[in-house]
Amino acid sequence: MASRLFNYFLMCWINGTVTEQQLETAVAKGYITQEEKENILATPR
């Protein structure tokens, strides 16, 4: 099951409103998992 904020960060990534560093911070704060971050980064913008 995806983290509660996964879809939010995914849409932000696609829209170009979140950076890779911000995603790393989201992982550190427990908002998304490392695997989810990698999935987001693999998604084309």
What is the pLDDT at residue 36?
Answer: 99
**1 domain-assigned:** no
5: which DSSP letter?
T
pLDDT at 1: 84
Q: Cα 1 to chain center, whole Å?
A: 15
pTM across the whole model: 0.93
In a domain, residue 13? The reply is yes
Q: What is the pLDDT along the chain (45 residues), one digit of tens a residue?
A: 899 999 999 999 999 999 999 999 999 999 999 999 999 999 999
Domain count for the chain? 1
In contact, 3 and 34? CB cutoff 8 Å: no
Q: Do 6 and 32 meet the contact criterion of CB atoms below 8 Å apart?
A: yes
User: And the tokens for 12?
Assistant: 């932000």
Which two tokens mark 35? 């695997």
* Structural domain range at position 26: 6-41
Question: Which pair of tokens denotes residue 36?
Answer: 């989810």
